[in-house]
C-alpha cells in the first residue's frame, strides 16, 4: 500500500493533492488512460517513460500507471523506466507493455507467443483481490499483444487468466505493484472503469476530490495574480476552446480582456454573428471584429493545394490579428485555447513524452511574432473537460457543444480553388446537414457532422431540364477521441431529408453522397 496518507474527506484540495502520473511508453491509448482517471475526479498527467524517480516524487503522485507500447521488453533499445520507481512504495499499475516491464524488472520473464491476442477476449478472475472488487468472475476484456509474461518472479501472484494467457493480471505480495495484460481504459473492456477505480480509490487511497469547479476557481485566481493590472487579448475562432478561454478570462479580469474575432469569410453560417452576440451581450467584453473576408479570398485566389491553402490562411490570420492587436493599447498578454493534448503532442510539457512531438498551431508562432506573454488557462484539460467547464462558466449549449471546426475553416471542406460563391454554396449545405442532425436529436451523440463541396459536376434532371451541377458529400462520424473515428449509421430517412433539402434549397447542387469511410484509413476532414 502507499505510504501517502489520504487527506481528510472535508479537506479543501488542490490539483496536486490527488495526482496520478501515466508513464508513456508509446501507447496509442496513453491519453485515454489519463482521461479515464480524470473521469474518476482524480487529476492525472502524462509524463516521459524515462522520468527519474526523484522527479516523480517532486510531482507528489498517489500512484503511477505504466502505459502500453509497441515494443518488446526484451528487445534492444526497448523503452525502460527508472528501476528506482519500484523502490518508492508508490502504487504502480502496469498495463500491457507496462505489466510486462514491471514483471521483467522484478525478475520475471516475458516471451513472444504463438497464440497472440488481439480484440475481445473472455477473462477469468482467479484470485480475490481489491483490484477486481465488484468485477464478475468472468467478463470480456480487450487484448492487444504478441508478448506475454511467461513466468513471474517470487512474490508475484497471478490474478486472472484467459484461454491463451495464463497470467492476464498480477500483483506483488509485498510491493504495491499490479499488472494487467488487457486494456481497462478502452470501452471494449466493459468493467475497465471499475478496475481503474479500484486501483485509484482502494489501492492509491484517492478520494476523487478533483472537480472542474475547483479548477476554474484556481485558474481564475492564477490569471488574476499573473495579469495584475495588465491587459490580455484573446482570439475568438467560433470553437469551444477559444470561447471557454475567453469566458474564464472574463470572469478573472473583466474589462481588462479584449477579444479579437477575425471573420475570414471561412466560418460556418451565422457563426460570426453568434460569437459577437455572446461576447457583447452576455459577457460584455471589449470585442474587436476584423472583417477580413476580402483579404483572405484575395490571398487564396486560384490556390487548390490543401497545404498551401493552410499556409496562406495562417499567414493572413497573423497579419489581420497583429494589425488589430496593435490598435489596442497596453496589451501585455495573449491568451490561447491550448488543451492538454496540444501540450503533449508538441512536447511543450516539461516531463511530456518526447516520442510524439509535432508542431501544433496552438502552441507556437503567434506569441513570438507579437511579442506578448502567453496565457494558456486550459492547457491541463482535455476536450470533454473543456465542454463541462464551459457549462460551469455559463456558456450556452450552442457554443459548448458545437462540433469541432478545422482551423482553416470551410477552405478545407471546399475542395479545389475557392470563391465567394462556392463558399456560400457550402455554407448553405452545411447548415442543412447540421440543422437536420439537431432536429433528429443526434447532434450531441455524433462527434462531427458537416458538408463537403466537391470540385466535380455531374449530370442531373430537374423538371424537364438537364442540369450539370455540383456534388455535395455529407460527412458524419462517431468518435471518443478523434484519433480514430467511424462513420455514423444515420437513419435512411434522415439522410433522405438532408439530400432532398440540399438539392431543392441550395442553388447549383444536383447530387448528394454520404461518406462511409472510417479513420483510419481515411481522415475525418477531406483536406
**Catalytic positions:** 96, 183, 185
DSSP 216: H
User: Which among 236, 227, 262 is positioned nearest to 373, based on CA atoms?
Assistant: 227
What are the φ and ψ backbone dihedral angles of 84, each rounded to 5 degrees? -70, -15
* DSSP tag of 20: E
CA distance 408 to 42: 35
> And the C-alpha cell for 103?
514483471
3-class DSSP assignment, residue 361: coil
Beta strands in 105-222 (DSSP E): 109-125, 138-151, 156-161, 169-172, 177-180
The whole-angstrom separation of Cα 410 and Cα 494 is 23
Task: Quote the cell numbers at residue 339.
Answer: 488543451
Element (H, E) at 423: helix 420-439
Q: HEC string of 239-275?
A: CHHHHHHHHHHHHHHHHHEEEEEEECCCCCCCHHHHH
CA 422 to chain centre: 31
Q: Where does residue 299 rank: exposed (0-12), middle (13-18), buried (19+ CB within 10 A)?
A: middle
Q: Among 201, 99, 82, which residue's Cα sits nearest to residue 156?
A: 99
DSSP run (H or E) holding 520: none
Q: Can you tell me the distance from the alpha carbon of 416 to that of 419, in angstroms, rounded to the nearest whole number?
A: 10
Question: 3-state DSSP: the chain helix, strand, coil percent, rounded to 5?
Answer: 35, 25, 40
Separation of first and last alpha carbons in the chain: 51
525, 473 Cβ separation under 8 angstroms: no
Alpha helices in 290-419 (DSSP H): 293-300, 306-325, 340-346, 366-370, 383-392, 397-400
Q: Which residues face 516 on adjacent strands?
A: none
Reduce the DSSP state of residue 145 to 3 states and report it: strand
Residue 182 and residue 68 in contact, taking contact as beta carbons nearer than 8 Å:
no
Amino acid at each position: 500500500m502507499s505510504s501517502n496518507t489520504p487527506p481528510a474527506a472535508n479537506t479543501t484540495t488542490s490539483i496536486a493533492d490527488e495526482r496520478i502520473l501515466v508513464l508513456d511508453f508509446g501507447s496509442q491509448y496513453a491519453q485515454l488512460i489519463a482521461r479515464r482517471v480524470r473521469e474518476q475526479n482524480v487529476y492525472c498527467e502524462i509524463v516521459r517513460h524515462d522520468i527519474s524517480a526523484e522527479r516523480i516524487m517532486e510531482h507528489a503522485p498517489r500512484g503511477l500507471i505504466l502505459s502500453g507500447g509497441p515494443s518488446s521488453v526484451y528487445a534492444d533499445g526497448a523503452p525502460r523506466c527508472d528501476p528506482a520507481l519500484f523502490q518508492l512504495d508508490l502504487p504502480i499499475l502496469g498495463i500491457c507493455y507496462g505489466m510486462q516491464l514491471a514483471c521483467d524488472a522484478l525478475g520475471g520473464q516475458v516471451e513472444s507467443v504463438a497464440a497472440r491476442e488481439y480484440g475481445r477476449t473472455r477473462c477469468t478472475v482467479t484470485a480475490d483481490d481489491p483490484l477486481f472488487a465488484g468485477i464478475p468472475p468472468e467478463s470480456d476484456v480487450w487484448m492487444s499483444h504478441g508478448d506475454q509474461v511467461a513466468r513471474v518472479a517470487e512474490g508475484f501472484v497471478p490474478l486472472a487468466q484467459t484461454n491463451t494467457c495464463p497470467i492476464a493480471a498480477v500483483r506483488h505480495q509485498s510491493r504495491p505493484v499490479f499488472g494487467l495484460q488487457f486494456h481497462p481504459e478502452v470501452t471494449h473492456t466493459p468493467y475497465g472503469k471499475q478496475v481503474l477505480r479500484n486501483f485509484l480509490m482502494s489501492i492509491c487511497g484517492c478520494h476523487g476530490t478533483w472537480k472542474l469547479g475547483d479548477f476554474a476557481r484556481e485558474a481564475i485566481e492564477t490569471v488574476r495574480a499573473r495579469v495584475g493590472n495588465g491587459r490580455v487579448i484573446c482570439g475568438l475562432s467560433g470553437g469551444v476552446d477559444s470561447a471557454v478561454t475567453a469566458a474564464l478570462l472574463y470572469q478573472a479580469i473583466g474589462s481588462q480582456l479584449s477579444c479579437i474575432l477575425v471573420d475570414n469569410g471561412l466560418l460556418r453560417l451565422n457563426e460570426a454573428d453568434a460569437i459577437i452576440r455572446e461576447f457583447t451581450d452576455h459577457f460584455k467584453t471589449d470585442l474587436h471584429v476584423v472583417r477580413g473576408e476580402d483579404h483572405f479570398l484575395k490571398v487564396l485566389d486560384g490556390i487548390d493545394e490543401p497545404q498551401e491553402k493552410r499556409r496562406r490562411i495562417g499567414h493572413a490570420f497573423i497579419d489581420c490579428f497583429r494589425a488589430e492587436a496593435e490598435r489596442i493599447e497596453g496589451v501585455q498578454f495573449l491568451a490561447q485555447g491550448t488543451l492538454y493534448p496540444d501540450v503533449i503532442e508538441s512536447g511543450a510539457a516539461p516531463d511530456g513524452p518526447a516520442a510524439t512531438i509535432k508542431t501544433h498551431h496552438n502552441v507556437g508562432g503567434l506569441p513570438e511574432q507579437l511579442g506578448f506573454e502567453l496565457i494558456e488557462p486550459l492547457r491541463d484539460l482535455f476536450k470533454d473537460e473543456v465542454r463541462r467547464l464551459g457549462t460551469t462558466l455559463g456558456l450556452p449549449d450552442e457554443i459548448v457543444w458545437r462540433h469541432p471546426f478545422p482551423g482553416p475553416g470551410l477552405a478545407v471542406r471546399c475542395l479545389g480553388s475557392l470563391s465567394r460563391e462556392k463558399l456560400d454554396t457550402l455554407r448553405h449545405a452545411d447548415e442543412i446537414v447540421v440543422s437536420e442532425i439537431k432536429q433528429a436529436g443526434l447532434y450531441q451523440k455524433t462527434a462531427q457532422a458537416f458538408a463537403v463541396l466537391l470540385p466535380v459536376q455531374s449530370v442531373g434532371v430537374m423538371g424537364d431540364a438537364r442540369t450539370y451541377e455540383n456534388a455535395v458529400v455529407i460527412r458524419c462520424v462517431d468518435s471518443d477521441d478523434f484519433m480514430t473515428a467511424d462513420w455514423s449509421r444515420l437513419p435512411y430517412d434522415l439522410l433522405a431529408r438532408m439530400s432532398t433539402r440540399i438539392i431543392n434549397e441550395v442553388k447549383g447542387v444536383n447530387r448528394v453522397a454520404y461518406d462511409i469511410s472510417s479513420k483510419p484509413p481515411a481522415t475525418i476532414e477531406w483536406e
